[in-house]
Structure 1
Amino acid sequence: MIDRRSAILGSLAVGLSASGDAQTPPPAQVGGRWPRQPDPTETIDLWPAGAPGAPRNLPVEIVEDRATGAAATDRAVHGIARPRMVVFRPAKPNGSAVLVMPGGGYVRIVVDREGYEIARRLADRGWTVFVLFYRLPGDGWAAGPDVALSDAQRAMRLIRARASTYGIKSDRVAAMGFSAGGHVCGDLATRFAQPTYTPIDAADRSSARPDVAALMYAVQSMTLPLAHPGSRALLLGASPTPALENAHSTASNVTSATPPCLLVHAEDDRSVVVENTLAFRAAAIKAGVAVETHLFATGGHGFGLSRAVGKPVALWPTLFEEWARAQGLG
């Protein structure tokens, strides 16, 4: 449910000037609550002429602040009509970039906890970070269960095509996803070459394959009982066939071309059970893909950064940084 603190950003053209180069702004503040650090202002629209396969009635972007009391901002965005990346530029670029895909059960995009928090940390360490606001499969886009993958592929290609602009190396681009965003990330890592849209410009000649992928408490399986029921229903519908489930279960799509992967999960996760990560790990090992796995006894689901404080699982960002460095990034 969207509460009274929600803000409707309005029509498709909100925030756009008369210039054809204008980009859709980041999600707005709501309820008078402001983040502890300033939001970025630089964005990149993925599709200059509008996202392909739009439904007759475009979704309306709504920003919800789910925080209570004096808690830090905890925004979620529903109804992405203009998929885009929000850019975090480091003061001293280290030459590496990461595309971050927040979760939200395929019903929303979790802005702060699984997007901006990790983006600020990594930018402080020299990474150029792109937080992806991808379209949601329940909003009626023609690409159906591939709609978020289309946005992730396009985002990776744009990052590589503009590498020189951001002071990054085109062979040092990571992907990171959380929960349902981890499914998008796993899809990208395994199906990066799958044609999901018609190329529109020179950027689409770039590879969509991430150089490494970090899957955080990720939705992986679309087959019950491992599947996260809500994500499965929104992605595939109420009664998907076994063939459709298998086609969108990331472990089923791992090949030797899948990039090195880092997997992080808490064993007490009751929303996305840890067996999702174990299934992906087994598939990666079978395919000869380099995979590093960190399982924590406690942490629950959706710990991100702020909810991990004071727990052993709070080590995960350092583990990512060290692992990425060993892979030649960072």
Structure 2
Amino acid sequence: MEDQGAIDRRTALLAGLAVAGLSATGARAAPAPATETIALWPKGAPGMPARPPVLKVDSYSKDPAVQDRVLSGIARPSIEVFRAARPNGGAMLIMPGGGYTDVVVDKEGNEVARWLAGQGITCFVLTYRLPAEGWANPADTPLSDAQRAIRLIRAHAGKYGIDAKRVGAMGFSAGGHLCADLATRFAARVYEPVDAADGLSARPDAAAPIYPVISMEPGVTHAGSRANLIGADADAARTAAHSADRNVTAQTPPCFLLHAEDDDVVPVENILRFRAALRAKGVTTETHLFPDSGHGFGIRQIGAKSVAPWPGLFLAWAARVGIAG
């Protein structure tokens, strides 16, 4: 029988090949395309401003061969479905970052979804509404989209060949805050039910905030995310209410935490606070800190950095908590 270390090392190697777009034989692997778009709110999102946001699509990419779109003006939030070619029954809701100013849909969304779909996990990339675009309840607007997305995934589990009890969540940067917010406030009533799906649980079965904003406390948080979500001048009570480390309970799902210690955008203190809060409540937690990988690397920019093993580490953890096969 193989020891767990050997299995995890092989998982990390195969994951690295997958991230590079290669199979174990070195052949180029075809990326899994999005197969469907699901509107979260078919009759219109709650709290719509009198002048709805107008979708804007920009790009960070200077290479025409690389897609790196950022979205803002999102009035019709949705989830893009990436079906696994060989589904193992697990699912992952992916929440890209963008400082709650925009949604970095390719680098921290679709690319990660294609990779995980190649590992057998059916993925759903969330394009969520941005809090500073006029919504009636801005601080809880992204969370309402995340809760609704989890519920819709469970409602359609049979259609996508997934197990409704094996639905995880992953988020990056501000999307990591949304992931942690979902993991800690999944039961908060932040919108009125619209159909039968809203009778289902919004609790993810596992959560992976990656280089996340966690705290809204000045000096620890990412200032732009704080300003967009709760306002730069938010008082102490509002700050605490939207700091994920202050909302952990024993019902928070198992968490995989990842951060670079030299991150100069979102201080590593964020994840350390979240880890301490999780451990204090007895929540199973796996934490990885890397010395020199900065911020916003996703899977595209890991290269030879110390963070390069993270995809394999994540897959090994996902298998242990039941999301991966």
Give TM-score scaled by structure 1 length: 0.88
Tell me by how many angstroms 1:41 deviates.
4.5
Aligned to 2:311: 317
CA–CA separation in structure 1 for the residues paired with 2:316 and 2:73: 36
Structure 1 residue 297 corresponds to structure 2 residue 291? yes
Q: 2:208 aligns with which of 193, 203, 214?
A: 214
Match of 2:106 in 1: 112
Contact 2:183 2:252 in 1 (8 A): yes
Aligned to 2:173: 179
- Note the alpha carbon deviations across 1:104-128, whole angstroms, 9 max, x for none: 0000000111001110010011110
* Aligned position for 1:280: 274
Residue 174 of structure 1 aligns to a residue whose secondary structure is strand
Confirm or deny: 8 A CA contact 2:32 2:82 kept in the other structure. Answer: no
Give runs of aligned pairs for residues 162-177 of structure 1, distance below 5 A: 162-177=156-171
Q: Which of the numbers 119, 122, 127 marks the counterpart of 2:116?
A: 122
Question: Which residue type is aligned with residue 264 of structure 1?
Answer: L
Q: Give the partner amino acid of 1:225.
A: G
Q: How many residue pairs align between the two structures?
A: 295
Unmatched 5+ stretches in structure 1: 1-35
Q: Tell whether 2:225 aligns with 1:231.
A: yes
Residue aligning to 2:186: 192
For 1:245 and 1:70, the matched residues in 2 are separated by 41
The runs of 5 or more residues in structure 2 that have no matched partner are 1-29
Q: Is the 8 A contact 2:121 2:323 kept in 1?
A: no
SS in structure 1 of the partner of residue 286 of structure 2: strand
Q: Which moved more, 1:66-75 or 1:299-308?
A: 66-75
Kindly indicate whether the alpha-carbon contact (under 8 Å) linking 2:89 and 2:166 is maintained by their aligned counterparts in 1: yes
Q: Where does residue 27 of structure 2 map in the other structure? A: none
* SS, match of residue 313 in structure 1: coil
The reply to whether residue 93 of structure 1 matches residue 103 of structure 2 is: no
For residues 33-87 of structure 1, give each alpha carbon's deviation from its aligned partner in whole angstroms, at most 9, with x where no partner exists. xxx9575251000011010110000001111111114562111001111000000
Asked if 1:60 is matched to 2:54, the reply is: yes
Q: Which residue number in structure 2 is paired with residue 76 of structure 1? A: 70
Higher-RCO chain (CA-CA 8 Å, sequence separation at least 6): 2
- The one-letter amino acid of 2:305's match is K
Q: Which moved more, 1:269-278 or 1:41-50?
A: 41-50
Q: 2:95, 2:171 within 8 Å by CA — same for their partners in 1?
A: yes
Instruction: Look up the match of 2:132.
Output: 138
- 8 Å CA contact 2:211–2:271 kept in 1: the answer is yes
**2:223–2:232 Cα contact (<8 Å) kept:** no
Q: Which amino acid aligns with 1:241?
A: D
1:259-284 deviation line (CA, Å, top 9, x unaligned): 00000000000000000000000000
Q: Secondary structure at the match of 2:319?
A: helix
Partners of 1:132 and 1:207 in 2: CA distance: 18
Q: Residue 214 of structure 1 aligns to a residue in which SS? A: strand
Amino acid at match of 2:154: R
Partner secondary structure for residue 309 of structure 2: helix
Report how far residue 144 of structure 1 moved. 1.4
**2:32, 2:83 within 8 Å by CA — same for their partners in 1?**
no
Distance 2:297 2:281 in 1: 30
